[in-house]
């Protein structure tokens, strides 16, 4: 019994060990890595926005699916936000419009997946392509939409560059999203049913629960969470760039699946996803400071993902949970 118990502990904390190892490695090798300015940069520039998108992805994977259109939700939110601000609408109303724009992507996915019965992978892949084309049409071939410096409201700037009690607003928003997602997924009936759907959808169906409704709500929630990033990103750079949200997609998927190693049963979970995002952020920053070519940085990130997943899988297997 001692060996499986030990392996179970390794399986859960392989991610923590990997994070500690890369942190120690870059602290020793990368000049300036431990400086306060650099660590804050990791949190604001490498962690905050990706964490929100990865949390959205965690809900989709928890429910037994995946959402390849989270970047499209980011983009639609950004476009709606910028357009409404340019039209002279109050920032609060423009932000609500941005969230609604992102939620529409989720509603479209919900119709395809829960209504028609298309698999999540194919449905959201189609949404990604449709969303990219719509953005090209709305911007005359993909031209950025700029906000003139003189016409940017102070409340708009505050969302991307402001601070409360010395803490950057993007980090505060990220913390609120993470805390809310943990409560929903771990402490509410909806979260438990979503997890059960991902584990055994047929059981949920035979239990009398309305599986299509649960699935639809999940994908709308996923896109709404991702839409928050559209608001922050736009208020940070004061420009909407078509299809820029897709830059978060692969790392969000990677962080979510890295995070499954933090759960003894290999299931998606909010704390694991947050640690996965932090791991990817630390590695990206450390490799950059080390002066490696960008393409080697991508190779290093990919190898790290493989390593963490392989160690987690091997340890769960040794513990008899695979």
CB-facing half-sphere around the CA of 312: CA atoms within 13 A? 26
Output the domain CATH number for residue 81.
1.10.3470
Q: Is residue 4 part of a domain?
A: no
Q: Is residue 245 part of a domain?
A: yes
Beta strands in the chain (DSSP E): 145-146, 163-164, 167-168, 239-240
Return the pLDDT at 201: 75
Return the pLDDT at 322: 56
How far is it, in rounded angstroms, from Cα 188 to Cα 231? 27
Q: Is residue 3 part of a domain?
A: no
Residue 68: give the domain boundaries.
9-318
Q: Tens digits of per-residue pLDDT, 46-89?
A: 999 999 999 999 999 999 999 999 999 999 999 999 999 999 99
- The CA-to-CA distance between both ends of the chain, in Å, stands at 16
User: Among 30-44, 74-88, 201-215, 252-266, which stretch is predicted with the lowest mean pLDDT?
Assistant: 201-215
Residues 6+ positions from 167 with CB-CB distance below 8 Å: none
Q: Is 112 helix (H, G, I), strand (E, B) or coil?
A: helix
Q: Is residue 199 part of a domain?
A: yes
Number of domains in the chain: 1
How far is it, in rounded angstroms, from Cα 233 to Cα 159? 9
Q: Is residue 83 part of a domain?
A: yes
What string of DSSP letters covers 215-238? HHHHHHHHHHHHHHHHHHHHHHHS
Q: Tens digits of per-residue pLDDT, 233-273?
A: 999 999 999 999 999 999 999 999 999 988 888 899 999 99
- Which pLDDT band holds residue 10 (cuts at 50, 70, 90)? low
pTM above 0.75, yes or no: yes
Return the pLDDT at 316: 65
Return the pLDDT at 200: 80
- Which pLDDT band holds residue 165 (cuts at 50, 70, 90)? very high
How far is it, in rounded angstroms, from Cα 274 to Cα 52? 9
CA angle at residue 303 from 298 to 305, to 5 degrees?
Answer: 95
Contact status, residue 74 vs residue 229, Cβ threshold 8 Å: yes
Q: Is residue 271 part of a domain?
A: yes
Residues 6+ positions from 163 with CB-CB distance below 8 Å: 169
CA angle at residue 197 from 195 to 202, to 5 degrees?
Answer: 150
CB-facing half-sphere around the CA of 219: CA atoms within 13 A? 30
- Which pLDDT band holds residue 282 (cuts at 50, 70, 90)? very high
Q: Is residue 182 part of a domain?
A: yes
User: How many residues are there in the chain?
Assistant: 322
Query: Above 60 in pLDDT, residue 5?
Result: no
Contact status, residue 143 vs residue 232, Cβ threshold 8 Å: no
Q: Is residue 254 part of a domain?
A: yes
What's 150's DSSP letter?
G
């Amino acid at each position: 019994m001692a060996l499986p118990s030990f392996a179970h502990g390794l399986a859960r904390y392989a991610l923590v060990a990997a994070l500690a190892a890369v942190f120690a490695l870059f602290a020793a090798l990368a000049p300036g890595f431990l400086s306060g300015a650099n660590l804050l940069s990791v949190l604001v520039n490498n962690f905050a926005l990706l964490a929100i998108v990865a949390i959205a992805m965690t809900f989709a994977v928890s429910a037994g699916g995946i959402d390849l259109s989270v970047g499209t939700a980011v983009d639609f939110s950004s476009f709606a936000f910028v357009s409404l601000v340019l039209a002279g609408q109050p920032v609060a109303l423009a932000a609500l419009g941005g969230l609604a724009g992102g939620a529409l992507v989720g509603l479209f996915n919900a119709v395809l997946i829960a209504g028609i019965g298309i698999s999540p992978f194919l449905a959201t892949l189609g949404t990604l392509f449709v969303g990219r084309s719509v953005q090209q049409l709305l911007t005359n071939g993909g031209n950025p939409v700029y906000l003139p410096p003189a016409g940017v409201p102070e409340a708009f700037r505050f969302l991307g560059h402001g601070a409360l009690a010395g803490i950057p607003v993007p980090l505060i928003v990220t913390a609120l999203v993470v805390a809310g997602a943990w409560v929903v997924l771990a402490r509410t009936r909806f979260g438990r049913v979503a997890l059960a759907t991902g584990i055994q959808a047929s059981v949920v169906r035979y239990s009398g629960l309305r599986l299509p409704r649960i699935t639809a709500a999940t994908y709308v929630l996923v896109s709404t969470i991702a839409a928050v990033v559209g608001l922050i990103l736009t208020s940070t750079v004061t420009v909407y760039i078509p299809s820029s949200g897709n830059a978060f997609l692969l790392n969000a998927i990677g962080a979510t699946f890295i995070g499954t190693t933090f759960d003894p049963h290999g299931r998606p979970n909010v704390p694991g996803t947050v640690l996965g995002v932090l791991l990817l952020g630390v590695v990206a920053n450390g490799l950059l400071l080390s002066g490696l070519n960008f393409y080697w940085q991508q190779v290093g990130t990919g190898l790290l993902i493989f390593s963490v997943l392989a160690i987690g899988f091997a340890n769960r297997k040794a513990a008899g949970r695979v």
